[in-house]
Structure 1
Amino acid sequence: MKSLWAKRKTILKGLGWVVFVALAVVVSVSTIQAANGIEPMGISPLMFFIGLLLVCTAIGIFAVLAGVGGGVIFTPLFMGFTPIDSYIIRSTGLFVAMAGALVAARPFLKRGIANIRLLFTGAVPYTVFAVIGALLAGYIQAHMGKGGEAFINGALGIIVIGIAMLFIFFGGKAEYPEVTHMDNFSAKLGLAMPYYEASLGKVVDYKLTRAALGLCLFCGVGLISGLFGLGAGWAMVPVFNLVMMAPLKVAATCSKVMISIGDTAAVWPYIVGGGMFPLFAVPSMIGLIVGTLIGARIMLKVKAGFIRYLIIAVMLFSGIRLVQKAIGML
């Protein structure tokens, strides 16, 4: 009976993906028809769709192997090396980060690994400032012209270079950090929430500290995520794990769930502002999600150290290119 149910679940999942891809193709075809014959970047819309799908699948694979989110590679890479409007790229980057996080969030919540108390506390400042960042992006797009575009490119280039440096020099994480001192604010919030760790076969009880600093950092991370469409996994996991001292698995799961909450809100100002172009967003989303699933399987069989440094090199190169573009616009 159980094997029959398992087979049915597999079939249903397969049908779900078929329906999802079919809907995506329908949306993209409708976008092509509405494009009034304008062919992006000098190629046919169909070739653009297929090419973007393949590129984003590769980004998704390498991102998983390198241990970073797809958005932190997608946005600077496309802004630095394609003529596509930066507002559309940032909108899509945020949309892609949101979609990937939504896919990952459900099993984390179902298994009880994500700390609900911590999520409710951290999601508020992150979401508010992500929306502020998205609104600020729309204002810069509408009112600041070429100077605003130069600012976005230059600031994003510097941030991406900074993230690459963070990965190089502060990439270490503690699986189960020990809290030697808990401050009064963290103790009053009572954010710690035990969870069952299957690999250890026991319940893990932990403490959290420096909650005030963590909340302030979430404000900054939300602003950067909303303004530049980077996603936030690159910063959230270190904040949870190294600042607030949450176990690494809790940090990773809370990061995914918080991104799914905050970026869902932050993507709406981009949609209202006309930044969501389905012909660009749909293949990007499908490619990164499929690439993430493929990368997760490959990760079990290969050593990913070299890939991580390759991604860091790509980020540095993209950051330098963005700064060069910004200087050229001034």
Structure 2
Amino acid sequence: MQINNLSEKINAYEAKIKAATSRVIDSGWLVLGPEVKRFENLFAEYLGAQYCVSLANGTDAIELSLRALGVESGDIVATVANAGMYTTTALLAIGAIPFFIDVDLTTRNTTLKEVQRALDAGVKAVVVTHLYGRATPEIKEIAQQCALHGVPLLEDCAQSHGASIGDQRTGTFGDASSFSFYPTKNLGALGDGGAVVTNRNDIAEKVARLRQYGWSSKYCVEYGGARNSRLDEIQAAILAVFLPDLDAANERRRHIAKRYSLEIKHTEITLPPIGSADYVAHLYVIQSSKRNLLQAYLKGFGISSDIHYPIPDYRQPLFKDKFAEIGLKNTERLCSEILTLPCYPEMNDSLVDQVISAVNAWEI
């Protein structure tokens, strides 16, 4: 059993995908054309935001949004260390310095207290990651504190497409937000893609310049730190095909996650809380102090699993001893105990039953 089966989604949408790609090919307009503009408008409307600027991938979305927010080389930026190094990679590309903040053991997201610690330390910007598809519970309060300190807030929404707190979607609380459309995401393309979403015209305009060489006009380069980072017309057209069904797909993910949380019963396993609109179940992540034994056991049953993510950013080999003095208790515990089970919209009830039965039958 795969942890995600993208071929099933592709097969289900085959006719619509072919129609969308044929429309683009027939138009002869392949980059920054009407399909890109249409998707940007649709996605901004879906989120309840003013602007969406599409990009080549989610990591570029983090980097270029931070550049647009004024982050420069040498600036210190707050970020979690349990989210796969993506924000830290973007910071390194800018030349900025990460200020690592811890997370809550239950939600796996950061807290107001940790963000306040970073603000008190004088960070230039804050990045909050809505990890595993769960909206950071205190995101509204975090946004208020960042605003009071005059510190820009970027929401990393690569795993939280469609999640909301109250009637407000993730990606609309901060000054800007970054999205990834990597194929496994809740809203995924058939290749790489990303976007920056914001309610600020100045940020949208700056990102639009940065995604195309820093041009202020054609062939006139005015902005530093730019690149070629454009979502192509075919991927934009495909994303527009998938977008109308995003909420239904998220509901199916929640249904599977709820079944896991209600039906898996094992003394050696800690399950994530059941979510509602705040949780779009991008990943269903359990905890066990015997994680490696459980993963090997599931593999024996033909059930794939994964670890998202096994190494805190500050312990990555590239840093050597640079962050040797840093130790985030919850982050390090989670990295040593987490395990991701299969959870995707096309997963049928029989496969869900198999996972539940296998986990419940695990003997230490």
User: Comparing both chains, which one has the higher relative contact order based on Cα–Cα distances under 8 Å and sequence gaps of 6 or more?
Assistant: 1
Q: Which has a greater percent of strand?
A: 2
TM norm structure 1 = 0.28
TM norm structure 2 = 0.26
